Amino acid sequence: MAILDDLNDKERDEVKNTGTFVTLPEGWSPIWEKTPADKAYIIVNGEASVRAGGKEIATLGPGDIIGEGAIVNHKLRNASVVMTQRTEVLHFTREQVEQLCSDIPAFKKALDKVSEERIGE
């Protein structure tokens, strides 16, 4: 998982064990633009389309995290996410993400990096 690449094995296991494994069907939209940041997902298998104003702005796959930006930046979501195929993910509540950021500095650093990169795009 790319978001977890810079974590050691113990930290990776803690993140994986904190999340809940979920399978989302094709066409499902777990995150909606202009809604509060209440959850995030790490894609395990499958693919998702990120859309702002109805227009695709990115395609994400295994190892990518979705929904973190609004949590990290304490803002409403700036995009919607739609599964383009059956997709397996790890689901995290906002509280779980915040706790992981507190407990694992490398995870917070990785989230901040992804958030900064996406804002710059």
| Domain of 45, in residue numbers | 2-120
pLDDT tier, 115 (very low <50, low <70, confident <90, very high otherwise): confident
Number of domains, the chain: 1
* Mean per-residue pLDDT of the chain: 93
pTM (2 d.p.):
0.91
pLDDT in tens, 19-44: 999 999 999 999 999 999 999 999 99
CATH number of the domain encompassing residue 12: 2.60.120.10
pLDDT in tens, 59-70: 999 999 999 888
Among candidate residues 12, 3, 119, the one with its CA nearest the CA of residue 70: 119
* Kind of pairing between the strands at 80-83 and 48-52: antiparallel
Site of tokens 């990096």:
113
